[in-house]
């Protein structure tokens, strides 16, 4: 009887051990499966986050391109004479420094206009927003040719010329040969392009037109001609750097 009980006990212990091993194996399998599933989920989540981050970065770059502004020229008043009796401005002398795409001066002009209000006229080519947003090499930013300067008392056809119509402006002469060839074609056929929608669409051009910005020019200010990535010309007013003020004061004194 004792042997029988002992045998039964041994059998039960063996069964229990086997059951424990089986249970452990099941739990181990479940754990490994869960861990693999968790790892796969984490990898998928990380991939989704990476894709979302790349999309956000791409959108931010597009917004930056679409809202970027390029400086075309800087202008200062070097002299201005006023009628002592009437107080009206007789003439305004301007120094115009055109800038290349790296912000370096590529051309300087000195003009004197009657009156105070100066008009800066340019020919502007605006490309389709998609071209600008994706930074197409030849169409990644609006282009402008600064044509002439005049005033309320000086007719446009009597104004002072800046860049030569039909040629590449000095601001763009540092571009690649392919870009230079494309831009030369745009400027040489500008008015045809302005009146030919089919040709404009083929070249990715949204608008080709003349524009003029103007305002009273005052001593002690720095004026900047800029062009928006998908827009046109702007004439912005900024404080005149102290060093420039000192030079002008010394010259006038």
Distance, CA of 74 to CA of 224 (rounded, Å) = 4
Decide: residue 116, CB within 10 A, 0-12 exposed, 13-18 middle, 19+ buried.
buried
Cα distance from N-terminal residue to C-terminal residue, the chain: 130
Structure confidence at residue 9 (pLDDT): 61
- In this predicted structure, what is the pLDDT of residue 177? 83
Asked whether the whole model's pTM tops 0.95, one would answer no
Q: Report the pLDDT value the prediction gives residue 29, as an integer from 0 to 100.
A: 65
195-250 residue pLDDT tens = 999 999 999 999 999 999 999 999 999 999 999 988 899 999 999 988 776 666 66
Residue 231's pLDDT is what? 85
Reduce the secondary structure of the chain to three states and give it as a string.
CHHHHHHHHHHHHHHHHHHHHHHHHHHHHHHHHHHHHHHHHHHHHHHHHHHHHHHHHHHHHHHHHHHCEEEEEEEEEEEEEECCCCCCEEEEEEEEEEECCCCCEEEEEEEEEECCEEEEEEEEEEECHHHHHCCCCCCCCCEEEEEEEEECCECHHHCEECCCCCCCCHHHCCCCHHHHHHHHHHHHCHHHHHCCHHHHHHCCEEEEEEEEEEEECCCCEEEEEEEECCCCEEEEEEECCHHHHHHHHHHHC
Q: Considering all CA atoms of the chain, what is the largest pairwise distance in Å, rounded to the nearest integer?
A: 139
Per-residue pLDDT tens digits for 87-138: 999 999 999 999 988 888 988 999 999 999 999 999 999 999 888 888 888 8
Q: Taking all residues of the chain, what is their mean pLDDT, rounded to a whole number?
A: 82
State the average pLDDT over residues 139-155.
93
In degrees rounded to 5, what are phi and psi of residue 195?
-115, 10
Query: Per DSSP, what are the bridge partners of residue 171?
Result: none
- Measured CA to CA, the distance from residue 37 to residue 93 in angstroms comes to 76
């Amino acid at each position: 009887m004792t042997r029988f009980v002992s045998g039964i006990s041994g059998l039960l212990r063996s069964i229990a051990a086997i059951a424990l091993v089986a249970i452990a194996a099941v739990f181990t399998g479940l754990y490994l499966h869960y861990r693999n599933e968790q790892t796969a989920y984490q990898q998928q989540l990380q991939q989704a986050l990476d894709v979302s981050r790349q999309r956000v970065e791409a959108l931010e770059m597009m917004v930056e391109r679409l809202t970027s502004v390029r400086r075309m020229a800087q202008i200062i008043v070097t002299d201005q004479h006023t009628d002592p009796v009437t107080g009206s401005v007789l003439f305004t002398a301007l120094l115009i420094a055109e800038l290349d795409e790296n912000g370096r001066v590529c051309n300087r002009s000195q003009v004197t206009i009657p009156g105070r209000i100066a008009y800066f006229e340019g020919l502007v080519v605006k490309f389709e927003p998609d071209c600008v947003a994706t930074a197409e090499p030849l169409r990644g930013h609006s282009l402008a040719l600064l044509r002439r300067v005049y005033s309320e008392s000086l007719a446009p056809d009597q104004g002072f010329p800046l860049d030569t119509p039909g040629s590449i402006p000095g601001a763009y002469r540092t571009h690649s040969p392919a870009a230079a060839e494309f831009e030369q074609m745009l400027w040489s056929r500008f008015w045809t392009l302005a009146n030919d929608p089919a040709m404009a669409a083929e070249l990715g051009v949204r608008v080709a037109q003349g524009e003029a910005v103007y305002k009273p020019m005052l001593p002690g200010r720095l004026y900047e001609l800029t062009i928006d990535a998908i827009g046109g010309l702007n004439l912005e007013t900024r404080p005149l750097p102290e060093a420039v003020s000192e030079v002008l004061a010394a010259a006038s004194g």
